[in-house]
A and B are shown apart, each in its own frame.
Chain A
């Protein structure tokens, strides 16, 4: 099964702080995604990428930056964290066909106080 690893698994930061969430996939997948999960909203797409150096805007991008440095690594950056960004963040990857399944990491829980 596809392996997607996220770090850190838990993070607490203060309002206005900088946070970087990391994701690595080891399955040579082209596509990588960042979602946030909130009760009542399900999984909402923040950013995604189809390869190193590429970035596509998702549905809830405000306040987030992302960078895909290699095929394996995708980072989510919160440069001025706000309490509204307290959430459970998931990274996922998939192959190059639209019918491919998404494989998720175990999640990173972020609390902004």
Chain B
């Protein structure tokens, strides 16, 4: 069974700081990866996807993928209080089953 491990479980960063979230996966056949963000009381929403090795930048958010190392990360630059949320990484091996990690709870303090 596919497994996705996220770290850390929780993270506190100062406003304007850098937040780094990590994810490892177990299936070398995994092809597609996402980061989802969930604010309190809402459903998860896709933040960004990454399908190729290397970095992908969207505004203040940068995702990094290394399939050989079974590793994906998310870096949030210039963190804002509105970034405080639960973050999930998710993978898909191409079989339409999306597997999620347990989540990282990020708190950005002013």
Q: Is the interface of A mostly helix, strand, loop or mixed?
A: strand
Q: How large is the interface on B (under 10, 10 to 19, 20 to 34, 35 or more residues)?
A: 20 to 34
Chain B residues proximal to chain A, CB less than 8 Å: 1, 4, 6, 31-32, 34, 36, 42-46, 49, 51, 88, 90, 92-103
Residues of A within 8 A of B4 (CB): 42
Question: Does A41 lie within 8 Å of B96, measured CB to CB?
Answer: no
Bound-state CA distance A50–B88 (Å) is 24
Bound-state CA distance A58–B95 (Å) is 12
Tell me if A43 is interfacial: C-beta within 8 Å of chain B.
yes
The listed residue (B6, B42, B88) touching A106 by CB distance below 8 A is B42
Nearest Cβ on chain A to B7's Cβ, whole angstroms: 13
Closest to A59 in B: B1
Question: Does B90 lie within 8 Å of A102, measured CB to CB?
Answer: yes
